[in-house]
Amino acid sequence: MSVTVIVGAQWGDEGKGKVVDMLTEGADVVARYGGGANAGHTLVVGGRKTVIRLVPSGILQPRPLCVLGPGMVIDPQVLRDELSSLAKLGVDTSAKRVLISENAHVVMPYHVLLDQLREAGRHAIGTTKRGIGPAYEDKVGRRGVRMGDLLDEETLRGRLSAALDAWSPTFASLASEVPPMEPIVQSYLEHGRALTSLIGDATGRLQDAVERDEIIVAEGAQGSLLDIDHGTYPFVTSSTVLASGAATGLGIGPTAIRAVVGITKAYATRVGAGPFPTELHDDVGERIRQRGGEFGSVTGRPRRCGWLDLVALRHAARLNGMSEMIMTKADVLEGLDVIRVCVAYEIDGVRSSRVPGRDLARVKPVFEELPGFSTPLGACRDAAALPQTVRRIVELAEQHTGVPVRWLSVGPEREQSVRLS
Ligand code: GDP
Ligand code: IMO
Ligand code: MG
């Protein structure tokens, strides 16, 4: 058993990129199993910030093979831009380091357009407008284009024609034209030619890696509460975010998974619409937003900020079968007078430790209140030197989930982490 899954335990942007970068120094393979360029994973190494959306976050380490798995939806233009930015930084982006699954689905220009048109209408949910929903709709509708199809003109034409036919009434209902097929064929064949050396049998490679007991890290995108089945539907993304998605999204068996590491901030954020019980609408929320730099790395949107929600975290721990956790951004809470942690919900006056299947918007959070702290944490590397309040937040998270917190991240840099257990 050689696979460790890293999964977001909240609504995304928990710091997965930093953690994956930090944990993959000795890894052989790092693989993304779902989502697409809706993700924005930030790595800060030696003072330099790199935001990546499609390539796995192990790319700045010297060794691991970075696999874009079959469960992903890939916008080839975004990928090519990302690869060339990485190459400009001196990163090897050849087939030695990057492998794109031939079975990953392709995000087409009409997916992006449909996402944008829908988001301009009255059923908007605040997506990242990267075409993710429509691309997954084509996938389950069995008319999607896959990365391998970009290498075969006949298949590409067949799939495109099926997809454009299927979307035609939707375009009409959105008062828009179906985009002409020929320019898409030409530009996507060109994408195929440009990426051909990187496209291959990623599933076979991953299965070999499992068999050889290589060290494999599966990198989740988004967060558990955005999962298509178990998130705050319909305010969710369109893929399986949870650790179980690593098995289907990569083509390995669940028995290959050794550990599931949930990433949570010491507070909570959410981008886009949907229920958020512990959301702050006051200057404390604004202070956290500013100090935590809580602005979307993909869209630049201000992230909604609130207190850590241990009912939701327990739910995420159970949904993922988490074996350990890493808590990030504890440093951001420094200087607040009071820090709150949600330890239960009240629903119609009844206290509960469960996330309701529906109506999350109706719950009232019950808080434990902790004194603020004024020690800057950025330089701290010793658990014993952490303020009492920070240790209490970790202890509460462990008590409510039954899952140990292994590391506390105290800054965006690779080295800014404190080993807890
Ligand atoms: P991801 O999508 O889960 O990879 O997270 P993002 O990269 O979208 O957002 C996390 C942000 O917090 C990034 O700007 C990181 O550089 C930053 N970050 C990660 N860990 C810490 C931390 O412990 N403290 C602080 N202050 N920033 C952090
Ligand atoms: P990372 O990997 C935060 C949210 C969007 C929206 C919903 C649906 O950086 O944590 P979509 O474009 O996927 O159809 O949007 O999901 N969302 C994210 N929020 N971080 C992400 O990724 C997200 N990916 C999608 O804001 O609410
Ligand atoms: Mg992000």
Distance 261 CA to ligand 3 centre (A): 17
Active site residues: 13, 41
pLDDT (average), residues 396-421: 97
Give the nearest ligand 1 atom to 416 CA.
Answer: 23
pLDDT (average), residues 347-358: 93
Q: Domain 107-194 is of which CATH architecture?
A: Orthogonal Bundle (1.10)
Question: Is 0.75 topped by the overall pTM?
Answer: yes
Distance 179 CA to ligand 3 centre (A): 31
CB 219 within 8 A of CB 229: no
Ligand 2 atom 15 nearest Cα? 127
Ligand 1 atom 20 nearest Cα? 412
Average pLDDT over the chain, rounded to an integer:
96
Superfamily for domain range 3-104+199-260: Adenylosuccinate Synthetase, subunit A, domain 1 (3.40.440.10)
Ligand 2 atom 20 nearest Cα? 12
Nearest ligand for residue 73 CA:
2
Ligand 1 lined by 16 (C-beta under 6 Å):
yes
Domains of the chain, residue spans: 3-104+199-260, 107-194, 265-419
> Any bridge partners for residue 69, and if so which?
none
The fold for domain 265-419 equals Adenylosuccinate Synthetase; Chain A, domain 3 (3.90.170)
Ligand 1 lined by 412 (C-beta under 6 Å):
yes
Q: Which two tokens stand for residue 48?
A: 């330099």
The closest of 110, 100, 228 to 159, measured between CA atoms, is 110
Ligand 2 lined by 93 (C-beta under 6 Å):
no
Ligand 2 lined by 128 (C-beta under 6 Å):
yes
Lowest mean pLDDT among 92-106, 173-187, 254-268: 173-187
Indicate if the pLDDT at residue 123 is higher than 90: yes
CB 243 within 8 A of CB 258: no
**How does pLDDT run across 281-336, given as a tens digit for each residue?**
999 999 999 999 999 887 788 999 999 999 999 999 999 999 999 999 999 999 99
- φ/ψ (deg, to 5) at 65: -75, 130
In this chain, the answer to whether the domains covering 3-104+199-260 and 265-419 adopt an identical fold is: no
Ligand 2 atom 11 nearest Cα? 127
Strands 199-200 and 41-45, how do they pair?
unpaired
